[in-house]
Structure 1
Amino acid sequence: MGSILSSFSKGNDSLVPDLNLDLENATPTQEEFDLHKRVSSLLQPTDTLLNSLRNYQGCGELIRKAISNPTPENEEEAWKAVQPAVAKLKQYYEYSGALPELLSAFCEGNVRKNLEKFQALTKLLADILDFAFEFDYLKMRTPSIQNDFSYYRRTLSRGKLANEINTHNHQTDLKAAMIEDELATQISLFYAYPTTMLKKVTDVTASFVEKNNLGKSVSECLSGLAAACYHSVTKKRVQRPEMVDFCLRVMVVSIILYDHIDPQGAFNKQSPINIKSSVKAIQTHGINEYTNLMSALRYNTKHLNDDSTPKNVKQLLSGH
């Protein structure tokens, strides 16, 4: 496996390891059915979450009114407006919890064979990475998210509107849940980071690696998924524009995660990731998301500026 993947870094497209994956039409086998069903149920809200983020209506005007003129009426109005918004923010925060269970399935035994064998699970892993990319793109265009949660947290910390909150059971439950285990603090830090969901996915993956001592297996999983997405696009296994964009996004996020998980990163000469071929695929096929994909590689990777990164690779990404 190592010798096959190491060829990915030599700059020859034909040497990129080609996994036999069909990401567009994967269906669960009997062996993966139970896990697929369980994880699918967790990931089911994906489209709903992204649509709610696209249509997110901030509470900025009411919050500004409550701050500039803090009457009980204005504060109550702002508080009531921010409640459903915070419920959505909490839902976004909890999304990536299925990732460790998927990684466990791939890391038992031969990783490459598992990716090919459990293609429906591989597609679910790709769905999580794609969601992270799209979520962060939308989040960065929605500054009201952080403003709304900051107001919510400040109000909680002051203990204001306690009586009003207690008149609504669902609000009481939400407040109790967010105070418990300092969840409000965690969510606040979560939204403060520019690429919120990618950071969460990276942290969850890194924690899984550390707890289970599976760095090599997870790295193989990520480099294998990146290669599968690369071939899906360059060999035209996916034809629909939305699937081409999907595969390119997953390829990029896989590279970013690999660069954070592997001690040597994705850019050195021993890496199984062929950065030149990946960038070429983005340049050739990523018309719709070229700028976003290249920016993600440049600003979200960890080892790009290391001394071990070849100068031509740095130059390849520095101009984008």
Structure 2
Amino acid sequence: MGNFLSQFNELVNRDADSKVPDVNLDFEDSTMSEENLEPFEALGPTAELLDMLRNYEGCGEYIRQAIGAPGTEAETEAWNHVRPAVDKLKQFYEYSSAIETCLPLILQTLCIGDVNKNLERHKGLARILCNLLDFVFEFDSLKMKKPQIQNDFSYYRRCLSRGKLSNEVDLRSAMNEDELANRLSMFYAYPTPMLKTVTEVTTQFVAKNRVGRSVSECLSTLAGVCYHSVGSSTSPSSSSSFKKSSSSSRSPPRPETTAFCLRVMVISIIIYDHIDPQGAFVKSSPINIKNSVKAIQSYGNANDTPNLMSALRYNTKHLNDATTSKSIKSLVAS
């Protein structure tokens, strides 16, 4: 995905430039990393999961028939469709559990010590983190458009409570299934469950290890590099905020690279805003919200842009604080 974390000396901080140490990670490099990434295989390719969610149609018609005209045949038909649907929902939940296991290990490696050196040294792991943040945005954007998930799962729990499994499994298995159903219910009740998972895991890691500054630095660096990757590779006719620096000779990024960078940038900003005491919107923040929003508005695609702006508006923590300027509030709300 282009020279994603590439040689750059500028990260715009409000209306002034901030110097950032060079970090070089090429997301189009297909060579294998020398790192041992086996512990993070659970966070591997996610395209199948996203396609599964994208094509999730739900069981609404069968559920309506079972509720409207109750009877053994209609209820059995509904149950036979709901069960495989819930199996898919379990896979999504299992991925969130993998995040809870793997993300602290990623943060431990990238955020303990010199963050920029860690990003340079652990390129494969940095790629995994960025891919994870990209997945979080895409999954939650799709999930919010699937109200049938809640409907299907509500019917599934209703069947459990009526002892639907009594003829298929023993009592202990039924109890385990009900406990899992409770956890899944809490997971899907939240509008953005994957973002909630990542944010909570990061917050807990910061509190446990007292490394808020390092984690904030890692996230702000990712956000800044994403902005720079999109903005500094635009054509010479771009606005001054987005022109190439004299040291850059990169060609414009591909549309999919631009979309990826903007998604990672926004999720990085949101998590930063949750873990940093002052948040991402204060003047002293290393993240330039104004230019980040301009990048979204200028280079975001039609599908992602509304969701990116909504994510900043509704999922950040400090946007409405008194310390946030009216111009930033207005810009994010526009």
Q: CA deviation at 1:23?
A: 4.5
Q: CA deviation at 1:28?
A: 5.4
Please list every run of at least 4 consecutive aligned residues from structure 1 whose deviation after the TM superposition is greater than 6 angstroms: none
Instruction: Indicate the residue corresponding to 2:332 in structure 1.
Output: 317
- The one-letter code of the counterpart of 1:55 is N
How far apart are the structure 1 equivalents of 2:175 and 2:220?
A: 41
Please state whether the residue corresponding to 1:151 is helix, strand or coil.
helix
The answer to whether the Cα contact below 8 Å between 1:103 and 1:218 also exists between their aligned partners in 2 is yes
Correspondence for 2:120 among 104, 108, 116? 116
Q: CA deviation at 1:44?
A: 2.7
Correspondence for 1:295 among 284, 291, 310? 310
How far apart are the structure 1 equivalents of 2:33 and 2:103?
A: 19
Render the CA deviation track for 1:74-124: whole Å, top value 9, x for unaligned: 222211211111111111112242222211111221112111221221111
**Are residues 1:276 and 2:290 paired?**
yes
Render the CA deviation track for 1:192-215: whole Å, top value 9, x for unaligned: 111222112112222222222222
Counterparts of 1:95-174 in structure 2, within 5 Å, are 95-96=95-96, 97=99, 98-163=102-167, 165-166=168-169
How far apart are the structure 1 equivalents of 2:314 and 2:21?
A: 28
How far apart are the structure 2 equivalents of 1:18 and 1:281?
A: 22
**Are residues 1:246 and 2:243 paired?**
no
Gaps of 5+ in 2: 1-8, 234-249
Instruction: Indicate the residue corresponding to 2:222 in structure 1.
Output: 225
How far apart are the structure 1 equivalents of 2:297 and 2:160?
A: 48
How far apart are the structure 2 equivalents of 1:49 and 1:18?
A: 36
Q: CA RMSD in A?
A: 2.4
Render the CA deviation track for 1:216-266: whole Å, top value 9, x for unaligned: 221111111111211111122562110110000000000001011111111
How far apart are the structure 1 equivalents of 2:134 and 2:177?
A: 27
Name the structure where helix makes up a greater proportion of residues: 1
Render the CA deviation track for 1:111-146: whole Å, top value 9, x for unaligned: 121112212211110111111111111111111111
Residues 1:135 and 1:281: Cα distance change in structure 2 (over 3 Å)? same
- The one-letter code of the counterpart of 1:60 is G
Please state whether the residue corresponding to 2:70 is helix, strand or coil.
coil
Gaps of 5+ in 1: none
Percent same amino acid at aligned positions?
56
Instruction: Indicate the residue corresponding to 2:38 in structure 1.
Output: 37
How far apart are the structure 1 equivalents of 2:22 and 2:280?
A: 19
- The one-letter code of the counterpart of 1:22 is L
Which of 1 and 2 has higher RCO (CA within 8 Å, sep 6+)? Answer: 1
- The one-letter code of the counterpart of 1:85 is A
The answer to whether the Cα contact below 8 Å between 1:18 and 1:228 also exists between their aligned partners in 2 is no
How far apart are the structure 2 equivalents of 1:119 and 1:10?
A: 29
Give the TM-score, by structure 2 length.
0.83
Please state whether the residue corresponding to 1:264 is helix, strand or coil.
coil
Instruction: Indicate the residue corresponding to 1:25 in structure 2.
Output: 28
Instruction: Indicate the residue corresponding to 2:92 in structure 1.
Output: 92
How far apart are the structure 2 equivalents of 1:204 and 1:149?
A: 25
The answer to whether the Cα contact below 8 Å between 2:281 and 2:324 also exists between their aligned partners in 1 is yes
Residues 1:214 and 1:184: Cα distance change in structure 2 (over 3 Å)? farther
The answer to whether the Cα contact below 8 Å between 2:14 and 2:289 also exists between their aligned partners in 1 is no
